[in-house]
Amino acid sequence: MTLILSIAIIITTITSLAIVVRWRNLRCKGSLPASLFTFIAILFTSGLDVGLIMFPLVDFHTYKVEPAYAFANPLAFEFGFWGFLVWGFYFLTTFYFCIVEPKLKLFEIPAIKMTNNIVIIGTCAFTGYLFLIYLPDYIKGISDTLRLGLVAGVVLFAALSSTHIRFVRILSLSSTWLFFILISGVWLSSDMGITGLFQSVTNISEYFSNIHRFVLPINDHHQFYLYWWFAWSIMIGQFVARFAGGLKTWQLLIALLIVPSIPIAIWFSVLYYYFENSTAVSDFWRLAMIAVGIIFVANSLDSLIRLYTHNLNLTPARLGMSWYVLGNWATLFGLVLLYQFTPLKIEWVGLIVICIYSAVYFLVLQRRQELS
């Protein structure tokens, strides 16, 4: 699995570089063009979940003590697993769905369309399942009944939010601003000041000085993250491409690699200050982290629900609002419960997505004259 993943990363990276060089000034515009801030907000909140909020405080300790991570500091690893280069996957798929798919319509081919939508539905439910099993780590002492009820409520809220694209936009923008408020609040309560924040941020430089080591899997843990990014890459690119507002290709690459990485870098740097100084996050801000994380989960789910229901023409207009909401809620929450009895791993989903990539690469090469 490591070899397959490595080959896929190398090919997609070379493809992205070739696209930027060859079609650097081609404008990428979707069917529902939005402002740059709205586009980034939808991308940011759809492509991330509660792990961004809650994982660092646990991950820092792992990266500090395990020998495989000795070549850089824990903050550099956390940033490397969530920021900068990994957003290149979303660049490639966003470009594809803006420029290539409208001409070739490869994702309308029945086999590709079916496989892609099964992946979307499965990944959507798997996201809810991960939220379910990790809830005890976020909320200490939570009962099983409350845990199931909270997940069921989040899935229901996401199904309701997905009924209209304006709700998705509003939730994305709102959760982005809430994340900024969370960063500010946790930073202010730390008394680290501007100087402390700057000193903490400088630790990320070890990621850039070792960036070549982050391209391919460092170990199984890093491989898990890379497969996760692959698993999400097609569906997120397909969803957010419609909001692209006409950026040139090179601008789109910069926007996707740099803009989302800035708040990620600041957030991780604030939490790293707490970790380095053995300072506990107050109960108030921990609850705020959980609340924002839950909104991020809902944001990811509503984007994916909106995507697969649109792809399959299972829209509220066709099914009726009640059947649409009830059907999506029952399907996803039912799959969340079923995942407890299956050995499914995100790596398997990533492998299926790599197979979709392979089919698309082959068909694009076969039909390249249609793109000239």
The domain that holds 158 is classified in CATH as 1.10.4160
Structure-block tokens of residue 323: 């059947």
Per residue in 301-355, pLDDT tens? 888 899 899 999 888 988 899 999 999 999 999 988 888 777 777 788 888 999 9
- How far is CA 82 from its chain centroid? 9
Taking residues 110-119, what's their average pLDDT?
92
Q: What is the pLDDT of residue 339?
A: 82
Q: What is the pLDDT of residue 106?
A: 94
Q: How far is CA 317 from CA 40, 116, 240, 342, in A?
A: 28, 23, 22, 34
Q: What is the pLDDT of residue 168?
A: 83
Going by C-alpha positions, the residue among 231, 286, 255 that lies closest to residue 58 is 286
Going by C-alpha positions, the residue among 178, 169, 179 that lies closest to residue 34 is 169
Taking residues 99-103, what's their average pLDDT?
92
Residues 160/301, Cβ–Cβ less than 8 Å? no
Q: How far is residue 283's CA from residue 22's CA, in Å, rounded to a whole number?
A: 52
Instruction: Give the 3-state secondary structure of residue 245.
Output: strand
User: Which residues form the domain of 335?
Assistant: 2-371
Per residue in 156-202, pLDDT tens? 999 999 998 888 888 888 999 999 999 999 999 988 899 999 999 99
Q: How far is residue 276's CA from residue 273's CA, in Å, rounded to a whole number?
A: 5
pLDDT higher than threshold 90 for residue 140 = no
Per residue in 229-258, pLDDT tens? 988 999 999 999 999 989 999 999 999 999
Q: How far is residue 205's CA from residue 220's CA, in Å, rounded to a whole number?
A: 24
Per residue in 15-71, pLDDT tens? 999 999 999 999 999 988 989 899 999 888 887 777 788 788 888 999 998 888 999
Domain count, the chain: 1
Of the pLDDT bands very low, low, confident and very high (cuts 50, 70, 90), residue 142 is: confident
Q: What is the pLDDT of residue 210?
A: 94
User: Over the chain, what is the mean pLDDT?
Assistant: 90
Instruction: Give the 3-state secondary structure of residue 28.
Output: strand
pTM: predicted TM-score of the whole model, two decimal places: 0.90
pLDDT higher than threshold 90 for residue 362 = yes
Rg of the chain over CA atoms, in angstroms?
20
Q: What is the pLDDT of residue 248?
A: 95
